[in-house]
Chains A and B, each alone.
Chain A
């Protein structure tokens, strides 16, 4: 349940609609997330779109039909769909059903994943995903644990398995200044990629645009603060990869 403060005009129709009494009289925060049951009734009566239920439920066949409406554009551009997240692998059952339907219609599928799931789950998708965009956030397991709460062993195991499998894997790395852009990490990451038999990486400069979503969702985690890398910093990263024999592409 998300609240767009600047759209609210304070009519409080939502209060009448809410069965759980989760509407607050606080202009900065309308929803009491401890009481909210995500029923979405308030969003239904909100006339300005200030309250919105983010996300919705889809059945795989219906979603496949929806996606297929843009098939003409996919055919003409050589494009297709990208499964993103969150982590799509957390819904791997749904994903495999959806992908099977889409593959029957010849639609190209890319999946973005952080790779921190049981290896068997990837096996179920074998032959369905055309390209994995695989995140490698840090090469050092301990640092990875400090940053994300988990080590990277499982991730790297999945990475090597997928790279050796039939789908194509494209490693990606969020470049976060002061966190993972040191030369040692870049060289180690390059080695990981080389060892997996791959030769390129997409580098995504970190940005803070997600932080402004937090107050809307009232989610618990603290905003992550860093600085967005400038082109010179990204060029430095690219050149280190280059010296290690890895083609790095800077994605804006």
Chain B
């Protein structure tokens, strides 16, 4: 069921049963071929709005809603040929916006290098560049990051820390987002429904009070969003007058009629429901951070509209699938515009817009429906960057659903990522979610579970570099080669007589840096609340409207913050190496080891000794113990750090996006044999290349960890070559591996099947894929262990099995 241009599907856009329709293929091709660009509109309109002193004097609840409404009213709109679901994120076919009041200032400073940079290059014309550069002076002392602390010294320290990002990076200076909005209510009652509700509640408050202002902001933006839809209705009507092709003319008239109804009014059909939420999706991506605005469980809240329309005969399964495909393609029309620095942490042009299928309903029953299957087909056929598709799995999941997912993954779709309901629901209820709300979870961003429509969890609040803490702990609070301490003075390596001394120093340094982080983070939370409230987000998250409190101030029902523990396995392996080589075997003494680390492990013999010590990921109890220690210590310390300023707890996440690579670049050599500059393991994965005992051993090690400590989610990647998973047997084996892993408390797994191009890359750069397992013949081997001739043979075979 791969995408292929089916020549016989010539009739008016009616899709053949399983393959994508011609319309869908055309739209996909256009989006895939478009060069991503930077759209200055949002930045310029926002700046124009705030240049007015009158607007600056308004309460931010109102001025943010006003500015966003201006953007929605003033940004250019377009309906592209063949589109059924309309709305454009930016003026570019594929583009991103700049948020000068948040992290955008740094982006602006990078403007000159955008089209030439190596990772994620972006197009922008000279004129637009100049227009953007002109707004820099206005924002230079007005962007959020500079308003965090009132003391200039502390402020300077924060900014320098943020720019260097050696110990941690606070993402919240770029806004919060990371929500799964309550689209179900928006679809059901329209923006007018919200407006009426807000007006009623506002009438009972004192004019000018904080709550009054919150409601005023919501009323403003409800109107702004409604107007945005009307613009498309007008455009479609106008285009239909000019349209010569009768079938397209009818389509445009239909679009106009849909957009006259939504998002202002309640959706009357499946199509209107989808269109309504897509308008909100665009608007939310212009309000605050354009990252991780997640439609979430679409197969659940859209299903009533789908089944009603099927019953009425308004749509068929095929036409519904075509609409969802159009929507899915539209989600790839947005990209984030990050500065070079942020790209280090969030590479890959990823907006983290999650769509989740399957899982349980609020009563704990299997909730898979026809839409779940349609979404699975779409992700397999389109295989595009966005949305980020996830599938929920539980013990009672239906066989057909699982088979469909496993065969997609085995054939190399690399999507969806899989989540275990039992583990996640247990984790969430343990953290204070009600059982019903926990069952209604969807991951947002990368992997972070939140309740659909009820959580305002800043899941990507900050990213923490754990191995650098060990570097400081071994060197009494100093980074290697640094003159000044960056942490408290702890016991010198010469005096350390046992692992207890090492862990005591490690914990002291960790506590110190974590306290710093939390203090900074709370200040940034306050700055967000004070200067950048989010009225539209608040309208679409349950609790904020009812209480009259903005989401940035804790109006939502659930208000966690997530802090990512990066490279626990590297740190754990390093601790194990110290334990074994220094204190158990006495092969090297600690000062000697420290000296070698400072010199970046020049002696191959020392390094090979370190490399050969047991590592996490091989089902070795002694090694796994230390990774567990790092995770438990980190999670426990976070827990005891008190809550965030929105009334929720800080929770640990075990995923790293691309931060493991950046932190690796700046962190010194480690006792696990890793030299300075080499990347750390991603997420919770074993440190690079160190899992040598095959998939069941990795999963045994993974299951030895307590996943429920990671309330903010886990990312665990497994890579396979296509040949390994081929056929019915391969699919069954994959299903069993995942099933066993989940049954024993695993939380999440992502299956990557390497395509032949990647295998070729692995042949040319062995260091990049150290632990790639390939199937040779009845047995599997590590790719790097094969001779060049065998590697070529495997590449050739893989090319065959993909086709």
What are the residues of chain B within 8 A of A252 when measuring CB–CB?
A: 726-727, 777
Q: Encode A241-252 as 1/0 by CB contact (under 8 A) with B.
A: 000000000011
In the bound complex, CA of A212 to CA of B787 (Å): 7
What are the residues of chain A within 8 A of B740 when measuring CB–CB?
A: 72-73, 76-77
What are the residues of chain A within 8 A of B743 when measuring CB–CB?
A: 72, 76
Q: Encode A142-179 as 1/0 by CB contact (under 8 A) with B.
A: 00000000000000000000000000000000000000
What are the residues of chain B within 8 A of A77 when measuring CB–CB?
A: 732-733, 736, 740
Q: Encode A1-41 as 1/0 by CB contact (under 8 A) with B.
A: 00010100001010000000000000000000000000000
Q: Using A6-B787, A73-B696, A209-B776 as known contacts, say yes or no to A45 and B736 having CB atoms under 8 A apart.
A: no
Q: Encode B722-738 as 1/0 by CB contact (under 8 A) with A.
A: 00001100001100110
Tell me the nearest residue of chain B to A78, going by C-beta.
Answer: B736
Let me know if B605 and A70 touch, CB within 8 A: no
Distance to closest chain A CB from B792 (angstroms): 10
In the bound complex, CA of A79 to CA of B788 (Å): 33
What are the residues of chain A within 8 A of B607 when measuring CB–CB?
A: 47
In the bound complex, CA of A69 to CA of B739 (Å): 16
Q: Which of A46, A70, A76, A209 contacts B700 (CB 8 A)?
A: A70
* Interface residues of B, count at CB 8 A: 30
Given A73-B696, A73-B740, A209-B776, 8 more A-B residue pairs with CB atoms under 8 Å apart are: A45-B608, A46-B608, A47-B604, A47-B608, A69-B696, A76-B740, A77-B740, A251-B778
Distance to closest chain A CB from B690 (angstroms): 13
Distance to closest chain A CB from B295 (angstroms): 33
What are the residues of chain B within 8 A of A69 when measuring CB–CB?
A: 619, 696-697, 700
In the bound complex, CA of A199 to CA of B697 (Å): 37
Let me know if B789 and A212 touch, CB within 8 A: yes
Is there a chain A Cβ closer than 8 Å to B156's Cβ? no
Let me know if B605 and A79 touch, CB within 8 A: no
The contact sample of 20 A-B pairs, CB cut-off 8 A, is A13-B605, A45-B608, A46-B608, A47-B604, A47-B607, A47-B611, A69-B700, A70-B700, A72-B740, A73-B699, A73-B736, A73-B737, A76-B739, A76-B740, A77-B732, A77-B736, A204-B778, A207-B777, A216-B787, A252-B777
In the bound complex, CA of A229 to CA of B700 (Å): 39
Within 8 A of A (CB), among B592-610: 604-605, 607-608
Is there a chain A Cβ closer than 8 Å to B706's Cβ? no
Tell me the nearest residue of chain A to B726, going by C-beta.
Answer: A252
Interface residues on A, range: 20 to 34
Let me know if A209 and B736 touch, CB within 8 A: no
Of B619, B737, B787, B788, chain A has the most CB atoms within 10 Å of the CB of B787
Distance to closest chain B CB from A252 (angstroms): 7
Is there a chain A Cβ closer than 8 Å to B744's Cβ? yes
Let me know if B736 and A76 touch, CB within 8 A: yes
Is there a chain A Cβ closer than 8 Å to B30's Cβ? no
Q: Using A73-B696, A252-B727 as known contacts, say yes or no to A209 and B790 having CB atoms under 8 A apart.
A: yes
In the bound complex, CA of A43 to CA of B658 (Å): 35
Is there a chain A Cβ closer than 8 Å to B785's Cβ? yes
Within 8 A of A (CB), among B563-584: none
Let me know if A4 and B790 touch, CB within 8 A: no
Let me know if A212 and B726 touch, CB within 8 A: no
Distance to closest chain B CB from A170 (angstroms): 14
What are the residues of chain A within 8 A of B726 when measuring CB–CB?
A: 252
Tell me the nearest residue of chain B to A77, going by C-beta.
Answer: B736
Let me know if B744 and A72 touch, CB within 8 A: yes
Distance to closest chain A CB from B285 (angstroms): 42
Let me know if B777 and A212 touch, CB within 8 A: no
In the bound complex, CA of A251 to CA of B739 (Å): 25
Let me know if B793 and A70 touch, CB within 8 A: no
What are the residues of chain A within 8 A of B786 when measuring CB–CB?
A: 212
A-B pairs, top 10 by smallest CB distance, nearest first, are: A77-B736, A47-B608, A212-B787, A76-B740, A70-B696, A47-B604, A76-B736, A73-B740, A72-B740, A73-B696
Distance to closest chain A CB from B370 (angstroms): 29
What are the residues of chain A within 8 A of B737 when measuring CB–CB?
A: 73
Q: Encode B776-803 as 1/0 by CB contact (under 8 A) with A.
A: 1110000001111110010000000000
What are the residues of chain B within 8 A of A6 when measuring CB–CB?
A: 787-788
In the bound complex, CA of A48 to CA of B9 (Å): 56
What are the residues of chain A within 8 A of B793 when measuring CB–CB?
A: 209
In the bound complex, CA of A77 to CA of B604 (Å): 43
Within 8 A of A (CB), among B724-771: 726-727, 732-733, 736-737, 739-740, 743-744
In the bound complex, CA of A216 to CA of B790 (Å): 13
In the bound complex, CA of A228 to CA of B696 (Å): 31
Let me know if B788 and A45 touch, CB within 8 A: no
What are the residues of chain B within 8 A of A251 when measuring CB–CB?
A: 778
In the bound complex, CA of A6 to CA of B766 (Å): 11
What are the residues of chain B within 8 A of A45 when measuring CB–CB?
A: 605, 608
Distance to closest chain B CB from A141 (angstroms): 27
Distance to closest chain A CB from B580 (angstroms): 16
Within 8 A of A (CB), among B123-172: none
Let me know if B733 and A4 touch, CB within 8 A: no
What are the residues of chain B within 8 A of A72 when measuring CB–CB?
A: 740, 743-744
Distance to closest chain B CB from A184 (angstroms): 27
Within 8 A of B (CB), among A169-208: 204, 207
What are the residues of chain A within 8 A of B619 when measuring CB–CB?
A: 69
What are the residues of chain B within 8 A of A212 when measuring CB–CB?
A: 786-787, 789-790
What are the residues of chain A within 8 A of B739 when measuring CB–CB?
A: 76
Let me know if A209 and B777 touch, CB within 8 A: yes
In the bound complex, CA of A234 to CA of B678 (Å): 47
Of B605, B726, B740, chain A has the most CB atoms within 10 Å of the CB of B740
In the bound complex, CA of A216 to CA of B699 (Å): 32
Distance to closest chain A CB from B592 (angstroms): 18
